[in-house]
Amino acid sequence: MSTVIEPRRPGAAHAAAELWRSRRLVGWFGKRLLEKRYQRTWLGWAWLPLRPVLDVAARAFVFGSILSVPSGGVPYLLFFLIGMSAWNLFQESLFWSARSLELNRGILRRVYVPRLTMLVGSLAIGAIEYLIYLVMAGFAVSYYLLADGTTYLDLGTNTLATVAGLALIVLLAQSFGLWLSVLGAQARDVRFLLRYFTGFWFFLTPVIYPLDAVPENLRWLAAINPVTAPVEMVKYGVLGTGGIPTEALAVTVGFIAVVATAGLAFFRRSEAAAVDAM
Amino acid sequence: MTKSSGAALVLHGIGKRYRLGRSGGLVPVPLFGDRLERLERDRRRGVEDDDELVEDEDEALDETEERRTTGPARELWALRDVNLVVQPGEAVGVVGPTGSGKSTLMKILGRITPPTEGMIEVNGRVAPMLGSLSGFVVSEASVRANVGILARFLGVPHAVVVRNLESILRFAELEGLAHMKVKYLSRGMSDRLAYAVGLHFEPDVLLADDRVVAGDPPFQERCLARIEELLARRTALVFASNRLRTVTDLCTHGLWLEGGEVRAHGTVEEVVDAYRDSLRPAEPDPEPLVPSPGPPPPEQGTASADVDSAEPEPEPEPEPEPEPALVTVAAARLLNQEGGLVAEARAGETVTIEIELEVREAGVILTGSLAFAQGDERPRFVAPSPHAVDMPGRHVLQARVTLDGVVPGDYLGRAGVIVNHADGRVSEFLRPKPFRFSVEPPEDGGQRPSSPTASWTIMTPTGDPIVPASVN
């Protein structure tokens, strides 16, 4: 095996091959991130389920009980849990991707590891929290089965839409992550802005309300939002509410194609500069 | 691993430009006081040669270090037009004052940062900088788990790690502690673990800086012995350091960097001598730097006075390296029980290995060490022990070694002496020429399964033996 070290980084195919060879590091970076997040806490790993539970409890109460947001015939808690599971996967993956290089700068400054492993590893938090949302949804379903005698679920071939929606969310978050990781390593502004931006984005995405609750004159806003389609798909696949918004789906796929392609070029060009600047 | 006949490393016109002092943003955050800014700037400059031993595991999520600087943007070529060919088995010592580009070169070789210009061909696997692994030891994980974690940074497949676990732990002397969490180990032990992993797998190119060794003197010696073994097995070494003595000991070639450019390139002696000369003030020094192993200084009093008068050699700025040798070593030899010089021994027999030393200054601690290996095998080490020496003159360090459990065959023995100042500071590492000997099968034909054992003594100039000093 021989390597060439040059000012120009090797191409995307090489980066992918390298990522595959170092796949064991991906898991390790994921684990390290989770541990770092919860170390020096009193409750430790208990925070892992606690954060989503608190999040859901507060928001479901406000939107479902106080504001009585419509939920297409499904109990609001369940509707919100499913939508939120998808959104949270996106939001956490996005946020932690922005910190993936920055949090590992001690390693980046000392040894060479394929830097994409850190970006992919940062999916760990979103993925784990998604599983926690699934468990919470499981509890909610059992509750409704006992209370109302129905699960309100609509599982079948449509469930494939959920799987596809989740895949799109991960791809979308990682595409943005290619940019955010490098920028986030250079300036903390990225992180601050991202927090506010995702907070706003959350309300623009049909998570707390169904897509058909959006007024006709603002539908375009939902349609150009690349997260709309995957979130709707996740809900449709499990609850059977709504459907697959084709226009929005096209937007999502287009976003991924453009952001990922340009992002990969940007990442390869700028990761080294980011490390130098750390 | 098969290695092709080509060079291990070829550098073509390598250059690296840093952009320093790029604006800290629209509204620079350290609003108050130049002092802080100055500190920041100093630290940024220090990045070039920083010797980071900081543990990152302890960093909290939000403790992001501020490394940005303010002020006008400025370009700095940390390295320019460096050409170098390193053959397998060659060791290149990179020397030069602080800020000369040594660390930048190492970072480029380690692929931590890409060069701005030029190209490097690497034939094979480059191991991360020796010593850098210490920062990755996870204190919450077990010794065993850490071997796996560290090996990941070397790109070693997990199956290979499992197969080599035993010998790694043996090298680190942590055999019984595989399941112990690293946080219960001493810092030295965790360093030993990191170095054992870093040195175990044979890389095609090994990188090292001042942290080429760690731990206590015996372990330092083992690290150096292992590096020499790797060199013998065609690993190439690039060693950037100002420990000039270690550089000369380990390296075959030298590369002298100054201001990011190559000042000299050649055999290690030539380059290090030239570099030393450049550090010395213009007036030639009357005292020879390395005393020839001549007659011992007549009296203790005058001996130390001599040293004192030689001492105020104005230390040229950065490194206090070129000190006169405290101890010089003559030769190591193998003796039989009767004290006769021999070249062969019988397994199970007790032999003596003698190392002759010339001590210039009292108050040093000498630790002898001994390793012997058959062909390409990993060397077997004989437990070393330290001796406090309180008078100058000719000393003889003796190891009585019982060759139990030694497979018959031809061996290469390497003795070493680590010289510590009484305050524990390591000052020198001496190695006499290796000696060859052969081991015959034991007389009774059977092999005892035990390992060789040794006891060390040191004979003072007056002929009194000193028993090993008690180590804390």
pLDDT tens for A29-53 read 999 899 888 888 888 888 889 999 9
More confident residue, A16 or B404: A16
Q: Is B117 on the interface with A (CB under 8 A)?
A: yes
Going by pLDDT thresholds of 50, 70 and 90, the confidence category of residue A3 is confident
For residue A19, give Cα distances in angstroms to A15, A170, A173, B160: 6, 17, 18, 20
What is the CA B347 to chain-centroid distance, rounded?
A: 32
Q: Can you give the pLDDT at residue A228?
A: 93
Residue B427 has, within 13 A of its CA and on its CB side, a CA count of: 19
Note the pLDDT tens digit of each residue in B316-335.
444 444 445 677 777 778 88
Cβ–Cβ < 8 Å for B7, B79? no
Q: Determine the residue of chain B that is closest to A37 in CA distance.
A: B61
The Cα of B160 is separated from the nearest Cα of chain A by a number of Å equal to 14
Going by pLDDT thresholds of 50, 70 and 90, the confidence category of residue A125 is very high
B-chain CB neighbours of A96 within 8 Å are none
Provide the 3-class DSSP secondary structure of residue B402. Answer: strand
Which one of B25, B59, B111 has the shortest CB-CB distance to A112?
B111
Interface contacts A/B by beta carbons within 8 Å = 90
Average pLDDT score over residue span A99-115: 87
For residue B371, what is the enclosing H or E element? strand B364-373
Which one of B122, B125, B129 has the shortest CB-CB distance to A5?
B122
Q: How far apart (Å, rounded) are the C-alpha atoms in residues A132 and B246?
A: 56
The Cα of A266 is separated from the nearest Cα of chain B by a number of Å equal to 15
| Inter-chain residue contact A24 with B25, CB threshold 8 Å | no
Q: Can you give the pLDDT at residue B463?
A: 74
A-chain CB neighbours of B108 within 8 Å are 5
| Inter-chain residue contact B132 with A111, CB threshold 8 Å | yes
Q: Determine the residue of chain A that is closest to B156 in CA distance.
A: A22
Q: What are all long-range contacts of A135-140, with beta carbons under 8 Å and residues at least 24 apart? A: A135/A49, A136/A52, A136/A53, A136/A56, A136/A81, A137/A78, A137/A81, A137/A82, A137/A85, A140/A75, A140/A77, A140/A78, A140/A81
Mutate to test the interface with A, among B9, B19, B40, B61 (most CBs of A within 10 A): B61
| Inter-chain residue contact A7 with B109, CB threshold 8 Å | no
Q: Can you give the pLDDT at residue B378?
A: 55
ipTM > 0.95 (yes/no): no
Residue B353: φ, ψ to 5°:
-110, 125
Q: How far apart (Å, rounded) are the C-alpha atoms in residues A24 and B36?
A: 41
| Inter-chain residue contact B112 with A7, CB threshold 8 Å | no
Q: How far apart (Å, rounded) are the C-alpha atoms in residues A64 and A250?
A: 31
Interface of A with B (CB under 8 A): 1-9, 21-22, 24-25, 28, 35-37, 40, 102-103, 106-113, 187-189, 272, 275-278
The Cα of A98 is separated from the nearest Cα of chain B by a number of Å equal to 13
Beta strands (DSSP E) in chain A are 2-5
Token pair, residue B86, equals: 């390193």
Q: Can you give the pLDDT at residue B21?
A: 59
Provide Rg for chain A, Cα atoms. 20
Q: Can you give the pLDDT at residue B312?
A: 40
Q: Can you give the pLDDT at residue B428?
A: 63
B-chain CB neighbours of A102 within 8 Å are 64
Q: Determine the residue of chain B that is closest to A184 in CA distance.
A: B64
β-partners of residue B385 are B368
* CA angle B429–B430–B435, rounded 5-degree value: 135
Going by pLDDT thresholds of 50, 70 and 90, the confidence category of residue A243 is confident
Residue B413: φ, ψ to 5°:
-100, 140
| Inter-chain residue contact A7 with B118, CB threshold 8 Å | yes
Q: Can you give the pLDDT at residue B91?
A: 93
Which amino acid is residue A53, in one-letter code?
V
| Inter-chain residue contact B18 with A3, CB threshold 8 Å | no
Q: Can you give the pLDDT at residue A152?
A: 85
Cβ–Cβ < 8 Å for B455, B423? no
Residue A65 has, within 13 A of its CA and on its CB side, a CA count of: 8
Q: Is B122 on the interface with A (CB under 8 A)?
A: yes
Q: In a structure prediction context, what are the per-residue pLDDT tens digits for chain B, which is 472 residues long? A: 434 447 888 888 888 988 765 555 666 555 554 555 555 555 554 433 333 333 333 333 333 333 344 455 678 889 988 888 898 999 999 999 888 899 999 999 998 888 988 888 888 888 888 888 888 888 888 999 999 888 888 878 888 888 999 999 999 988 888 888 888 888 888 899 999 999 998 889 999 988 888 888 888 889 999 999 999 999 999 999 988 988 998 999 999 999 889 988 888 998 999 999 888 765 444 444 444 444 444 444 333 333 333 334 444 444 444 445 677 777 778 888 777 888 888 777 888 888 888 887 777 777 777 777 776 555 666 666 677 787 888 888 888 888 777 778 888 787 777 776 665 455 566 777 777 788 887 766 555 556 667 777 888 777 777 766 544 3
A-chain CB neighbours of B125 within 8 Å are 1
pTM exceeding the 0.80 threshold for the entire prediction: no
Q: What is the DSSP string of A103-124?
A: HTHHHHTTS---THHHHHHTHH
The Cα of B340 is separated from the nearest Cα of chain A by a number of Å equal to 51
Q: Can you give the pLDDT at residue A186?
A: 86
Q: Can you give the pLDDT at residue B36?
A: 54
Q: Can you give the pLDDT at residue B472?
A: 37
Which one of B25, B64, B149 has the shortest CB-CB distance to A102?
B64
Mean pLDDT of chain A: 89
Q: Can you give the pLDDT at residue B42?
A: 55
Which one of A4, A106, A189 has the shortest CB-CB distance to B59?
A106
For residue B343, give Cα distances in angstroms to B225, B229, B335, B371, B410: 22, 22, 8, 16, 10
For residue B128, give Cα distances in angstroms to A40, B125, B154, B332, B443: 30, 10, 7, 34, 47
Closest CA to B47 of B14, B26, B86, B18: B18
For residue B110, give Cα distances in angstroms to B201, B265, B308: 16, 21, 43
Provide the 3-class DSSP secondary structure of residue B251. Answer: coil
B-chain CB neighbours of A95 within 8 Å are none
Note the pLDDT tens digit of each residue in B341-386.
888 887 778 888 888 888 877 777 777 777 777 765 556 666 666 7
B-chain CB neighbours of A24 within 8 Å are 152, 158
Which one of A3, A9, A106 has the shortest CB-CB distance to B114?
A9
Token pair, residue B181, equals: 């969490």
Q: Can you give the pLDDT at residue B49?
A: 34
For residue A240, give Cα distances in angstroms to A59, A81, A107, A139: 23, 14, 46, 19
Note the pLDDT tens digit of each residue in A145-203.
999 888 888 888 889 999 999 999 999 999 999 999 999 988 889 999 999 999 999 99
Residue B415: φ, ψ to 5°:
-100, 155
The Cα of A176 is separated from the nearest Cα of chain B by a number of Å equal to 22
Q: Is the pLDDT of residue A15 over 90?
A: no
More confident residue, A75 or A3: A75
Mutate to test the interface with B, among A1, A3, A4, A5 (most CBs of B within 10 A): A5
Q: Is the pLDDT of residue A4 over 60?
A: yes
Q: How far apart (Å, rounded) are the C-alpha atoms in residues B384 and A150?
A: 77
Token pair, residue B415, equals: 């003795």
Q: Can you give the pLDDT at residue B26?
A: 67
